Structure 1
Amino acid sequence: MKLGLRSAQHFIYIENQYFIGSSFAWPSYKEAGADNLIPMELALKIVSKIRSRERFTVYIVIPMWPEGVPSSAAVQEMLYFQGQTMQMMYEIIARELKYMKLDNSHPQDYLNFYCLGNREKFAAEVSNPNNSHCDHGDT
């Protein structure tokens, strides 16, 4: 996987159940034990492209909610750790943009997270305002 990340020229697309790692560089909970180096590898890949002034983007697709009860402690911890991972990556990219004096650039020009979801269809009378019936007393 690391070789693929390092050899990418224009973009990287990752789709996974969750995205947690490189806790040694998190803003807090550095000892969480999330030792997956992929997030740091991605952030450093982006930094190298910024330094060489090359266009590069990382797209990461994850579920809005990991499997399990959204309010459970386990899911909330996973979401928190995922947020720590994202924040760490964005901070690394932002520092490099500032260092390179790229004031018109934003970390989201280089790193984006997406959540796929299904939309429920509304009943026709709710979603179509022309079908709504309103009695104003007119006969």
Structure 2
Amino acid sequence: MRWSEFVAKVRERGQYPTVREAERVARIVLSALGGHLTGQERTELAIRLPQEGMRVLTDQLQVTKAMSGAQFVDSVAARIEGATPATARWDVSSVLSVVAELAGDDLLDRIIGRLPTGYALLFGRAQLAARLVPAA
């Protein structure tokens, strides 16, 4: 997929009025995500993104403190002028749902498994609680 196609999908999902707006949101969200992914998952995701998306994702230094999904959304809201937590959640989900398609099920499962709780819904997945097995 080319960067222009990625941005077009983000624009469609987020119902952004312009390509410029969709691209701005895509860059902000990928940049934020890049600081939270590490290791093999980061590398594998980067390879599946268009070249420009790969660059935005991998140019980020790893964050020192893990964030829940809600904190991640708040951090994105702080980067977007005039954003609220609700609009930032929309922006994040618009981008990460496209990322999820490119990642594929196996990689996305591993990414979600490595991130703190609350990210699955942002990628368009249900966050299932671990099933507790009663002691015998």
Q: In proportion to residue count, which structure has more helix?
A: 2
Question: For this structure pair, what is the TM-score category when the shorter chain's length is used for normalisation?
Answer: 0.3 to 0.5
Q: What TM-score, normalized by structure 2, do the two folds share?
A: 0.34
